[in-house]
Amino acid sequence: MSNETTPIRPDPVFTPDAAFFWEGVTRGELLGQRCSDCMKITHPPRPMCPVCHSIKRETVKLSGRGIVTSWVIPRHPAPIGFAEAPIVALIELEEGIRMVSNVIDVAPDAMKNGIAVEVRYAPTKGGKAVPVFAPAKGGARE
């Protein structure tokens, strides 16, 4: 992917309870939501801790390291905002949460479950960014 090209990827949708996530990513930080009382990390974020019901919450910097739990390639109809069909993946982060993302720098033929990945950032058309994942240095982890 060339950096010269104008980004066409759709912008993320900001909601009051998830704005911190996208704002962090746009600054180049992968943030999670942690309960200030019981320390539970929750994704997707929400305004109350489902374990202890605290509404006190803080953002925590995530490792950005994880493994591919599931992946697909949307072939038809072509997704809006992508020059080529992306690899859409579920990433299970070291912190024990899952998030939907893309895997980059892997050929579709070489794609498989269990690949160790680490976070990168991809710009969107409106000047925001989303977290994407590339193979971690050191390769697949069994």
Q: Which residues bind other proteins (CB under 8 A)?
A: 9-13, 15, 18, 43-44, 50, 69-82, 85-86, 88-90, 98-102, 108, 113, 124, 126, 130, 132
Compute the least distance from the CB of residue 56 to other proteins, in Å.
21
Compute the least distance from the CB of residue 139 to other proteins, in Å.
19
The whole-angstrom separation of Cα 21 and Cα 101 is: 13
Shorter beta-carbon distance to other proteins: residue 26 or 136: 26
Closest CA to 36 of 23, 48, 24, 44: 48
3-state secondary structure of 23: helix
Strand order of the sheet with strand 31-35? 41-42, 31-35, 57-61
Shorter beta-carbon distance to other proteins: residue 38 or 100: 100
Shorter beta-carbon distance to other proteins: residue 123 or 137: 123
Contact predicate 78/50, CB 8 Å = no
Compute the least distance from the CB of residue 125 to other proteins, in Å.
10
Closest CA to 67 of 13, 123, 124, 135: 135
Compute the least distance from the CB of residue 11 to other proteins, in Å.
6
Compute the least distance from the CB of residue 85 to other proteins, in Å.
7
The whole-angstrom separation of Cα 66 and Cα 61 is: 14
Q: Quote the DSSP letter at residue 20.
A: H
Shorter beta-carbon distance to other proteins: residue 16 or 137: 16
Shorter beta-carbon distance to other proteins: residue 64 or 86: 86
